[in-house]
Amino acid sequence: MTAEQASALIEAMGSLLGVVVWPLLVLILVVRYGSELRRFVDSLCELTFKAAGIEATAKRSQVEAAVALGAATARSSADSASGDDEPEQIAGVISDNVTPRSVRRLSESRVLWVDERPSNNVYERRSLEALGVHFDISTSTDDALEKVERRAYDAIISDMGRPPDSRAGYTLLEKLRGSGNMSPFVIYAGSNLPEHKAEARKRGAQGSTNRPTELFELVLSSLTGGSRR
């Protein structure tokens, strides 16, 4: 698949998420992308169209989140030339974290995402929005601090470098902690080195990653009170 085709695929998946009801979405994706995605969908908690009520809502959320997370992973891998997460791994992350109980809790949560280029993370946000998470967007440290003064957030996600501050993620984290704000804080940046992860945790963040699946797990853990990486 060429870079142009991959980009078109991601854009098409994103568009489908906004306009197609979930059973049809699953059907189209299975037909279009073959056996690999069939295995992927089959592993999503034995998905059935017979579910009702909160169970149906949770299963729909699982599928929509998985598709968006797959799109985020494909885009991230294309940008970084790293390997894709296997579909089975993404499915495992979804099934481990998305339950009727977590969907109810997540629908009441609000997250602040700080990034000078919000369009870079549209699929990551959609994967969480599919579970009911609400987002406010900020493009600078100062604006983020103003937003935090006006309302409480259940979690904050930040990139690292925002000109002219190459360590803006840490700058924001230090100012928040210095003011007594202890909201869970996750750094979504270009590095996934162990030393950078360790530094982020030492500074008071829940974690740091450049992988959409790990970001998804970190945020859900922070919002639902699960274990932290």
Cα–Cα dist 129/118, whole Å: 15
Q: Which residue has the tokens 């797959």?
A: 70
Average pLDDT over residues 176-182: 96
pLDDT of residue 22: 44
pLDDT range class, residue 97, cuts 50, 70, 90: confident
Helices (H), the chain: 3-19, 22-42, 53-80, 87-97, 100-106, 122-129, 141-150, 168-178, 194-202, 212-224
pLDDT at 98 over 50: yes
pLDDT of residue 158: 98
Average pLDDT over residues 143-167: 96
Which residues in the chain are classed under CATH 3.40.50.2300?
101-224
pLDDT of residue 23: 45
pLDDT at 214 over 90: yes
Cα–Cα dist 86/80, whole Å: 16
Average pLDDT over residues 132-145: 96
For the chain, the average pLDDT equals 78
How many other C-beta atoms are found inside a 10 Å radius of the C-beta of residue 31?
10
pLDDT of residue 104: 83
Contact (Cβ atoms closer than 8 angstroms) between residue 58 and residue 44 = no
Cα–Cα dist 174/202, whole Å: 11
Percent of the chain with pLDDT over 90: 45
pLDDT of residue 59: 72
pLDDT at 200 over 80: yes
Which of 60-64, 75-79, 185-189, 222-226 holds the top average pLDDT?
185-189
Q: Does domain 101-224 have CATH number 3.40.50.10490?
A: no
- Residue 187 phi/psi, 5-degree rounding, is -100, 125
For residue 29, give every residue at least 6 positions away whose Cβ sits within 8 Å of its Cβ, in sequence order, or none: 13, 16, 37, 41, 67
Percent of the chain with pLDDT over 70: 68
203 burial (CB, 10 Å; 0-12 / 13-18 / 19+) is: middle
Least confident stretch, 60-64, 96-100, 149-153, 180-184 = 60-64
pLDDT range class, residue 174, cuts 50, 70, 90: very high
pLDDT range class, residue 228, cuts 50, 70, 90: very low
Omega before 118 cis (within 30°)?
no
For residue 40, give every residue at least 6 positions away whose Cβ sits within 8 Å of its Cβ, in sequence order, or none: 66, 70, 87, 88, 90, 91
pLDDT range class, residue 17, cuts 50, 70, 90: very low
pLDDT of residue 4: 56
Query: pTM for the whole thing?
Result: 0.74
Helices (H), 98-150: 100-106, 122-129, 141-150
Contact (Cβ atoms closer than 8 angstroms) between residue 224 and residue 102 = yes
